[in-house]
Structure 1
Amino acid sequence: MTKQEVNNKATISIIIAMAIFGTIGFIAPKTGLKAIDLVFIRCIFASIFLFLVWFLTGLYKNEVYHKKDIFLSLFSGVLLVCNWVFLFKSFENLSVTISISIYYLAPVILFLVGSLIFKEKITMIPLLGVFSSFIGSILLSGINSDFTFKTLLSSGVIWAFLAAIFYGFLMIVNKGITQTSAYFTTLLQTTLGFILLLPFVKFSAFHNLHMENWTFILIIGFVHTGVIYALFFGNIRFLPANTIAVLTFLDPAVAIVLDTMITGFKPTPLQIVGIFLTFLGIALIMLLNSTKKEVSNSSKKIAN
C-alpha cells in the first residue's frame, strides 16, 4: 500500500470516528440511564472491547510497561471518568448543540493551561481565539439579567464547562505518556473507571431497562468508545496534526446538524453568534497549535 493510500485510509477512518461520536448526545438519553450509571457500564464494555483488540491483534507482545506511563494512565483515568460523567450530565439538562459547543472549549483550556505550565508566550492571534471563544460561550449559555447561579446549575451549562475543563487536563496528562501504547493506556483508564464508579452506581437502575435501552448501551460501550478509539488511535499517526485538527470539527458539526433535524432545536440569534464565535476561536487555536507541531516535527527530522 502506497503512502497516499495509507493517508486516504487513515483520513476516512478518522472521518467515520468523528461522525459517529457526533451522535453520542442523541444515543445517551435512549439508554434510560443517568450519567454515573451510563459511564460505569460504558467503561465495562469499552474495557472488554479494547482488551480483545489489544490481545487478539498481538499488540500486547510489544507492549512497554513503563512505570511513569502507567501512573499517568491511571491518573488520566480519573480525569476521563469525570469528563464523561459531566458530559453526560450536560446532555441530561441541555440541548446537544449548546452542550457540545461549550464542551469543545477544551482545546482553549488546554492551550491556556499548557501556556502557563510551559511558560509559552501567547501571541495576538491565539489571544483573539481565546477572547472569541469566551464571548461565544457566554452568548451560548444564555446568561442575561435574570440569569441566577441556581439557573446556571440546573441548565447543564456548568456540567458542559466542567467536562471541557477535565478534557483539557486529560489531554495535558496524556501528553506525558510516551512509551505505553494508546490501546493499553485507554484500557487502564476505562478499567479504573468502572472500579471508581462502583460505589456510586444505582444497580436498581438496570432492573427495568428494555431491550432497546440495552441496544443503545451496547452502542455507546462498543461503538462510541471501542470502535471509535480503535479507528482514531489506529490511524492518527498517519496524518499531519493540522489535518486531524480540522477533522475533529466533524464531531460537533454532526451533533449540531442532528440536533436541528431530530429534536428541532432552534438556537436564538445570540446563540447562533455564540456558536460561530466559539468555534472560530477554537479553530484559530487548534490550527495554530497543529502548525507549530508540524514545524517542530520538521525541525526534528532535519536535525536527525
Structure 2
Amino acid sequence: MNYGAMLKLTISMTIFGSIGFFTAHTGVDAVELVFARCICATIFLGALWLLTKQYQSEIFTKKEVLRALLCGVFLVLNWVFLFKAFEEMSITVAISIYNIAPIFVLLFGAVFLRERLSVGAVIATASCFLGSIFIAGIHQLGSIDAVLTSGFVPALLSAIFYALTMLMSKTIHQLSSYALTVLQTLVGIVMLLPFCDFRAFEGLTTTNWLFILGTGFLHTGFVYYLFFDSIRSLSTIIVSVLVFVDPLVAILLDVALLAFRPDMWQLVGIALIFGGILYTVYEPLRQRRAT
C-alpha cells in the first residue's frame, strides 16, 4: 500500500470538493470556465515542469503522447459536463452523481485492464455507490422525466469521462505528471478555443476573477498534479473508493457555507461512503498481518 500516493489523492479530492462552491461565484458558463482553467493549469504546471527540470528526463514516445492527448480529451469533456450539471442542479446532487465514476472505473478496469475484483472490494464500492445515490436525493425526484431534466444526463456523462480519464492515465508510465497534465490542458485550450465566447469575461468583478483563478491554479493545476501523480501508483480499487472524499467535502461545505441540511437518507449515504472507504483502507492491512 503506497501511503504517500494515498495521501496525495486524498488531498486532491478534498480540495476538489470545493469546486462547486468556486464555480458558482465565477460568473461565467461552463465552456468559458474550463477554457480559463486550462490556461491557468498550463501556466502553473508548465512553470513547475521547467523549474524542477523534469523536462530533461522526459521520455516521449508516440504511443504515450497519443494516450496523453486522448486522456486530455476525456478530461476536458469531464469538466465541461460537470460544470453544465452545476448550472442545472444543486452542487451536492451534481457532485454526488459525478462520483459514481468509480463504478465505471471498476467495470472498465475489469474489462480492459483485467484487474481482479475481490468480493469485499465490490461490496465496498457498491456501498459507496449506494451512498452517493442517497446523497444525491434521487428518492425526492418523482418521475423519469424529472430525473432527465434535472441535470442528471450531463452529471452522468461527466462521471463516464472521469472514469475514462482515470483509466487512460493509468496506462501512461513514462511521462511525468507535469508533462501529462500540461499536454492535457493544452488539448483543452485547442478544443475549446473555437467555442469560447470571450465576451463572457467582460464586466466581471474582482471576486469573479479570484474564483476563476482559484479554479484554474488551485483546483486544476495543483489538484490535477497530485491526482495524476498518485493514481498511477495505486490500484483501481483504492482510487475508486478514495475519490469519494470529494462528495463528502462538498456536502460539508454545503452545510457550513450554504446552510444545507442533509435528510435521513443523505446521512445514511454519508455513513455508507465512510464505511466503504474505511474497509478499503483496512482490508489490505488485515491481509498483510495475516500473512
Q: Are 2:30 and 1:39 aligned?
A: no
- Which piece of structure 1 moves more, 69-78 or 92-101? 92-101
Supply the distance in 2 between the matched residues of 1:145 and 1:212 (Cα, whole angstroms).
Answer: 34
- How do 1:60-79 residues align onto structure 2 when only pairs under 5 Å count? 60-79=55-74
Report Cα offsets for 1:126-151 as digits up to 9, x if no partner. 34335434544444444459633432
Taking only the aligned residue pairs, the percentage that are identical comes to: 43
Letter in 2 for 1:58: K
- Note closer, same or farther for the CA distance 1:97–1:131 as it changes in structure 2 (3 Å cut): same
- Note closer, same or farther for the CA distance 1:134–1:152 as it changes in structure 2 (3 Å cut): same
Letter in 2 for 1:187: V
Supply the distance in 2 between the matched residues of 1:120 and 1:131 (Cα, whole angstroms).
Answer: 17
Report Cα offsets for 1:169-212 as digits up to 9, x if no partner. 11111111111111111101000111101122222211121221
Supply the distance in 2 between the matched residues of 1:46 and 1:209 (Cα, whole angstroms).
Answer: 21
Q: Are 2:189 and 1:187 aligned?
A: no
Supply the distance in 2 between the matched residues of 1:42 and 1:202 (Cα, whole angstroms).
Answer: 15
- Note closer, same or farther for the CA distance 1:261–1:70 as it changes in structure 2 (3 Å cut): same
Structure 1: give runs of 5+ residues left out of the alignment.
Answer: 1-6, 296-304
Letter in 2 for 1:196: M
Structure 2 length-normalised TM: 0.82
- How do 1:74-153 residues align onto structure 2 when only pairs under 5 Å count? 74-119=69-114, 122-143=117-138, 147-153=142-148
Q: 2:24 aligns with which of 19, 29, 42?
A: 29
Which residue does the alignment assign to 1:4?
A: none
Letter in 2 for 1:82: L
Supply the distance in 2 between the matched residues of 1:194 and 1:254 (Cα, whole angstroms).
Answer: 29
Supply the distance in 1 between the matched residues of 2:222 and 2:178 (Cα, whole angstroms).
Answer: 11
Supply the distance in 2 between the matched residues of 1:100 and 1:257 (Cα, whole angstroms).
Answer: 12
Letter in 1 for 2:37: R
Following TM superposition, by how much is the alpha carbon of 1:272 offset from its aligned partner in structure 2, in angstroms?
2.8
Report Cα offsets for 1:12-55 as digits up to 9, x if no partner. 76665443322211011110011111001110111111111111
Counterpart contact for 2:8–2:227, Cα < 8 Å: yes
- Note closer, same or farther for the CA distance 1:131–1:16 as it changes in structure 2 (3 Å cut): closer
Secondary structure class of the residue paired with 1:33: coil
Which residue does the alignment assign to 2:43?
A: 48
Letter in 2 for 1:76: C
Supply the distance in 2 between the matched residues of 1:227 and 1:130 (Cα, whole angstroms).
Answer: 27
Supply the distance in 1 between the matched residues of 2:270 and 2:154 (Cα, whole angstroms).
Answer: 18
Structure 2: give runs of 5+ residues left out of the alignment.
Answer: none
Letter in 1 for 2:199: S
Counterpart contact for 1:137–1:278, Cα < 8 Å: yes
Secondary structure class of the residue paired with 1:112: helix
Supply the distance in 2 between the matched residues of 1:145 and 1:240 (Cα, whole angstroms).
Answer: 36
Q: 1:208 aligns with which of 182, 203, 212?
A: 203
Provide the aligned C-alpha RMSD in A: 3.4
- Note closer, same or farther for the CA distance 1:186–1:257 as it changes in structure 2 (3 Å cut): same
Supply the distance in 2 between the matched residues of 1:119 and 1:16 (Cα, whole angstroms).
Answer: 28
Supply the distance in 2 between the matched residues of 1:30 and 1:270 (Cα, whole angstroms).
Answer: 29
- How do 1:238-253 residues align onto structure 2 when only pairs under 5 Å count? 248-253=243-248
How many residues matched? 284
Counterpart contact for 1:105–1:282, Cα < 8 Å: no
